[in-house]
Structure 1
């Protein structure tokens, strides 16, 4: 048996380089070790599939309740930074409007209407159309606004709140400007929530905030938990579907043979969705902290070690996914880690699958015949804690109004 070793110190890994293109960096890290100490982010980064999965499934050893958490500072102490049993009641309170039954009976119709609205906006942009900012971002924000029940806010408010608080959650560079923008958004969200609690006590509906106000038995989560968890949901619940729409559309447009297969067989839309989030996981890294001395991937980790679980890297682990750097809807089906796992498996997974794979992507390609990337304008992606398209300019040959099924 090989003795465990100290983690390699990867001083060559920088935040700007990871933001631009993390994949060559992660490929080199995976080849050298499963776990690295990275001074630029002041934590161990876990970059291989098996070790990321191990950490996610062992909550007793790899705690979500990280000391000095950036998310706690940005958004408050949400369920995402709690372990069971504290995590369980908050998760249970969040589930009813996010379950498949509620999506089918309430939210699918909302997703369809919102999708048509923002396809109109994309069409109106004409030669200046950007798939992210004219369609994916406002659509994701409007869908989330509806589910949460923020009747006193706009989708533009949710976009601003989400981005500034997410930026603070990933502020490993400790930029004071980023912290200040996040703080202002956090306070705006608190004020909006405070207005809505009495409103939904008098006007209950199917929204999440209404459900939190009108819980069975008259019980209610503490206001601090409501605020923190709603901020967490605004962050991931907006950025993830926005970035999946952008990533999946980009991948399909860059691989016209695969796009052709999906257009011929609409049953492949969920497959394309799953491959897109494997290929570029929207949430690239999340933290954990060891509760005891432990060995992970042959590396010794003392109790209290701060970890980054890098699913953006794990989902491209060559040991698990053949030709992992390729987008390929025909690849052998294997479980990816984009939705996490264990107790913290993404609560919004069914919402994302319905709103993106069943509605947004099919309707987009039905509406715009000959949709393609505009090669005369810049296309770009960015991020490593959260990664998605920054610019995706598009053109099309013909618009097919009323093409929706």
Structure 2
């Protein structure tokens, strides 16, 4: 175990709002061991930015980690050549060109259909009625699991990410995760003989990726590709409706949807951390790590690091968010970042505000999670 100073947390309070605790860690013990998580947390932006790239020390290889046990060994749990090989195999499905030329028209068509059904209702929940189906429709297309339904996609994604954050070992959460991965495998089985063009299944098959790795990588795409866009869409809309002066800047073309999204994922990072395992003993900032130690790189904390952001707890779309690292900063930088940005900033946000005039909040929006964070409900109405 590392010799980092110990910080005790209340897991329920940390899930309800991790940011006050993370601020205390940055100030008092920026590298700290948390017994409740059995992990050493790295919380300052510069430390994360440097150490994430040191894969010889902070390795993604975690054969005993929750993600590997529950979802199979995907490319996110590999380093070096093994990671690069599978990342290159998946790239044709997620490249900026593929997103712009192939997926964007599909994103637009699916989102328009959802809005056509939603607009006459006059009220709803942005999470379940809009952000969830928009994100799921995009992910169904990208993965190639064309027989899966949006609510089914959302459910299996949620149950997998709950499983991957189940450091307390809740057996019910683990069982739901196993059921979700089994259902995904059933859907993959149906598509192996003829997957849709450009899909994650098709490009991996074309590259000769072994089937067990193909399956694990499809599950990886689902685990990050559903909850992050879903939570970022609903969360960014919530933030803008709570800051009408900033929404007005976008309507007046003084700011952009991309700036609103970039500030949101700095402020409330949908993917709050990335786990690593120490490959060899090393000392970082007077903390000595032992081989086998579990380390969490806290991207959510990096986004509120006071040395890079003035008033970091405030949502401000005019700020420079370039120091933020919500998608990571090293070789494991999110492979789906281009698809996520396109879906959210070019499709979901502008089309929503165009289609639903006088969009307004009608209640509170509860947030939850520290490893993955987002609103569970955003009640709204429109004219």
In 1, Cα distance between equivalents of 2:306 and 2:122 = 41
In 1, Cα distance between equivalents of 2:316 and 2:356 = 23
Deviations 1:205-243 (A, max 9, x none): 22221222233xxxx211110111111111101111111
In 2, Cα distance between equivalents of 1:123 and 1:296 = 54
In 2, Cα distance between equivalents of 1:278 and 1:330 = 13
CA contact (8 A) 1:64 1:289 kept: yes
Indicate yes or no: 2:65 matched with 1:97. Answer: no
Q: CA deviation at 1:103?
A: 1.4
What is the aligned partner in structure 2 of residue 35 from structure 1? 31
Select the residue among 179, 186, 190 that pairs with 2:181: 186
Q: CA deviation at 1:301?
A: 1.6
Deviations 1:17-55 (A, max 9, x none): 111011111111111121111010111011111111122
Q: CA deviation at 1:198?
A: 1.2
Q: CA deviation at 1:288?
A: 0.7
Indicate yes or no: 2:302 matched with 1:314. Answer: yes
Alignment length (residue pairs)? 382
Deviations 1:94-136 (A, max 9, x none): 1102111111211111111111122234324433x00111000
What is the aligned partner in structure 2 of residue 113 from structure 1? 109
In 2, Cα distance between equivalents of 1:320 and 1:244 = 22
Gaps of 5+ in 2: none
CA contact (8 A) 1:273 1:357 kept: yes
Select the residue among 4, 7, 10 that pairs with 2:7: 10
What is the aligned partner in structure 1 of residue 198 from structure 2? 206
What is the aligned partner in structure 2 of residue 144 from structure 1? 139
Stretches of 4+ moved more than 4 A in 1? Answer: none
What is the aligned partner in structure 2 of residue 24 from structure 1? 20
Gaps of 5+ in 1: 399-405
CA contact (8 A) 1:121 1:135 kept: no
What is the aligned partner in structure 2 of residue 331 from structure 1? 319
**SS at 2:32's partner residue?**
strand
In 2, Cα distance between equivalents of 1:266 and 1:225 = 45
Q: Which moved more, 1:381-390 or 1:101-110?
A: 101-110
In 2, Cα distance between equivalents of 1:171 and 1:255 = 34
What is the aligned partner in structure 2 of residue 395 from structure 1? 381
CA contact (8 A) 1:34 1:297 kept: no
RMSD of aligned C-alpha atoms? 1.5
CA contact (8 A) 1:55 1:62 kept: yes
Deviations 1:61-100 (A, max 9, x none): 1101125211112211111111111111111111102111
In 1, Cα distance between equivalents of 2:211 and 2:374 = 32
In 2, Cα distance between equivalents of 1:135 and 1:357 = 15
Q: Which moved more, 1:71-80 or 1:151-160?
A: 151-160
What is the TM-score of this pair, normalised by structure 2?
Answer: 0.96
In 2, Cα distance between equivalents of 1:313 and 1:155 = 31
